[in-house]
Amino acid sequence: MCLSLTRMTDSSYFLSRCREELVSLLAAQGVNVNPGEVRDVEGDIDADLAVPLFRAAKERSESPQALAERLAGSLRLEGTRFASATALKGYLNLSFDKARFAQEVIADFSRGPDRYGRSDAGAGHTILIDYSSPNIAKPFSVGHLRSTILGQALHNILSFLGYRVIGDNHLGDWGTQFGKLLCAFTRWGSEDELERNPTTHLLSLYVRFHEEAKTSADLELEARDWFRRLETGDEKARSLWQRFVKFSTAEFGRIYDLLGVRFDSIRGESAYENRLSGVISRALERGVARREKPAAAMVTGGDEVGSDETVVIIPLDDVGIETPLILQKSDGTSLYATREIATAEYRIERWRPEKMLYVVGKEQELYFRQFSAALAKLGIPVPCVHVTFGLVRLPEGRMSTREGRVVFLEDVISEAIRRAEAVVQGRDLSPEEKARISRIVGIGAIRYADLSQSRIKEVVFDWNRMLALDGDSAPYLQYAYTRTRSILRKSEVQSPESKIPSPSSFALPEEFALLKSIARFPDAIVAAAETYEPHRIAGRIYRLARDFSAFYDKAPVLKAETPALRDARLYLVEMTGRVLATGLALLGIEVTDRM
């Protein structure tokens, strides 16, 4: 299921070259380890890489410490990237040759500052990502945010690694919910309101529908009938539905612009309508699906369905899933799954992806297992990966559109920008600059709050947490970036890239910590792509920003002791700034020169 990129990017960047070199050094001594067993050293131990020798020692029935000591004595390090090897508690610890380390990291970077971290591992491969995919009849809530920004980040990351990525926003513009809206609008709707505040109006109709449906049992049936009319091409249903869609998509477009989210394709579920009957009939012909009497009387409305009515299902118990997938309801209309299968067929025909990622909440896990199994049975060979994420809840419980218990994304964005404005207030900047910076910082904070944590965990929405402007937050990283820009601006160096420093200039631990953070960046991108976890990148660049802040505090750049040191530090600042900007860009977060 995971992308396997590690081997393909090996030897591209300093750390992977080191691991390989170390593995071959050990192999020359008759000790076999995998590059994956080589560990980065964190903490107080004075070394850069470490090899645990417990497994290798066991194979040759030797004590790990004895083996480590023997290797530390016998490894021939002249001419390698390592300056020394020591044995400690069964580990073989290696320290970099510092000058060579600095030289190679700088060389990796100077090959192409904007390309640092990139690879061509995905060249020639196409991946489709389904993300955001909101129901357009409802306002954009913070619940939709996760899919939107996770998907966008994965799009950025995979593209950076050379893949051809198709981001497809699969708008929810079809289905029973539209039956409900049509029903509600014809009963209680207002033309004026629809034009003025489409999603707000549709939301209140949706809420009212569910209110009234509690006491009026016929309403659900009426809604079902409206959907049936829509799907069978009824004039009135069609034209009304079209207007719902038109007004709503306009509002969504505004939010996407504000968030800086882009898609390669935006298509509604309705676009696949003409393929639905084909999906159902082919499934029946192949013997994958079958018609069946409804298992039970319809719950909603209390009416018994006619005895001649049938549903079309794909049984999945033979592949370990008890619940079958339903393709057609007893009234002949389609379901989400039917439309998804049609969509998958279309996507494969059009883009020929080798894999399709669905960035969809965890609550749909069973559904996706059914969906994948159904595709396999239908002979569709492209694997689907459900990139799940935890639900966003409110402290008082689950968000519910129909009960009006939601936080709207627009309100969150406004509040984020407002808080950023408060900080930037005292700065000596034009009002336009302040507005621009507040937007970049506020939206960055929102995105980072989500992308800095593993996606599987559920989130209890909290204003302060989502809009943090200090500590482990986007503004912290953006601020570190502005400091790099500020130094470079004042240095009056036209192009620091032209002044590649002598690597032996570096001496401070803060300088090496910074270099090491930069050296680790490429691996983080690969890890993020392999696990579909952008927070791997967030963690890496946060650490880089911390290392930079410590460096900033300790090591004067413009007033460095010697011109050579000044140049060397300027280059370090340049690298840091670029890596921060690249990493943030992968997360969809902008930077600014001042803030």
Partner RNA sequence: GCGCCUGUAGCUCAGAUGGACAGAGCAUCGGAUUUCUAAUCCGAUGGCCGGGGGUUCGAAUCCCUCCAGGCGCGCCA
Tell me whether residue 381 or residue 495 sits nearer to RNA (CB atom).
Answer: 495
Q: CB atoms < 10 A from the CB of 243, how many?
A: 15
- Taking every pair of Cα atoms in the chain, the longest distance, rounded to a whole number of angstroms, is 92
Q: Does 91 bind RNA (CB under 7 A)?
A: yes
The DSSP secondary-structure symbol of 182 reads H
Q: CB atoms < 10 A from the CB of 469, how many?
A: 20
Q: Does 43 bind RNA (CB under 7 A)?
A: yes
Q: Does 561 bind RNA (CB under 7 A)?
A: no
Q: Does 41 bind RNA (CB under 7 A)?
A: yes
Judged by CB under 7 A, the chain residues 221 through 260 that form the site for RNA are 224
Judged by CB under 7 A, the chain residues 478 through 517 that form the site for RNA are 479, 482-483, 486-487, 490
- The Cα 532–Cα 536 span in angstroms is 9
Tell me whether residue 207 or residue 460 sits nearer to RNA (CB atom).
Answer: 460
Which amino acid, 328? Q
In the bound complex, what is the minimum distance in angstroms from residue 561's beta carbon to RNA? Answer: 12
Instruction: Measure CA 535 to chain center.
Output: 8
174 neighbors 269 (Cβ within 8 angstroms): yes
Judged by CB under 7 A, the chain residues 439 through 468 that form the site for RNA are 441, 452-454, 456-460, 462, 465, 468
Number of residues that bind RNA (CB under 7 A): 110
Segment lying near RNA (by CB under 7 A), choices 185-193, 196-204, 247-255, 295-303: 295-303
In terms of Cβ atoms closer than 10 Å to its own Cβ (0-12, 13-18, 19+), residue 191 is exposed
Judged by CB under 7 A, the chain residues 154 through 213 that form the site for RNA are 172, 174-177
Q: Does 550 bind RNA (CB under 7 A)?
A: yes
In the bound complex, what is the minimum distance in angstroms from residue 473's beta carbon to RNA? Answer: 7
In the bound complex, what is the minimum distance in angstroms from residue 401's beta carbon to RNA? Answer: 11
Q: Does 394 bind RNA (CB under 7 A)?
A: no
Tell me whether residue 77 or residue 88 sits nearer to RNA (CB atom).
Answer: 88
Residue 31, by phi and psi: left (phi above 0), alpha (psi -120 to 50) or beta?
A: beta
Segment lying near RNA (by CB under 7 A), choices 182-190, 194-202, 204-212, 320-328: 320-328
- Helix, strand, coil percentages (3-state) for the chain, rounded to 5, are 55, 10, 30
Judged by CB under 7 A, the chain residues 106 through 135 that form the site for RNA are 135
The residues near 514 (Cβ < 8 Å, ≥ 6 apart) are 544, 547, 548, 551, 572, 576
Q: Does 100 bind RNA (CB under 7 A)?
A: no
In the bound complex, what is the minimum distance in angstroms from residue 90's beta carbon to RNA? Answer: 6
Q: Does 296 bind RNA (CB under 7 A)?
A: yes
Judged by CB under 7 A, the chain residues 566 through 595 that form the site for RNA are 593-595
Residue 318 tokens read as 């033979």
Q: Does 375 bind RNA (CB under 7 A)?
A: no
Segment lying near RNA (by CB under 7 A), choices 121-129, 199-207, 275-283, 538-546: 538-546
Tell me whether residue 103 or residue 511 sits nearer to RNA (CB atom).
Answer: 511
- The Cα 595–Cα 482 span in angstroms is 7
DSSP string for residues in 244-299: HHHHHHHHHHHHHHHHT---SEEEEGGGGGGGHHHHHHHHHHTTSSEEE--SS--S
Tracing tokens 């379901």 back to the chain, one arrives at 335
In the bound complex, what is the minimum distance in angstroms from residue 360's beta carbon to RNA? Answer: 8
How many residues appear in the chain?
Answer: 595
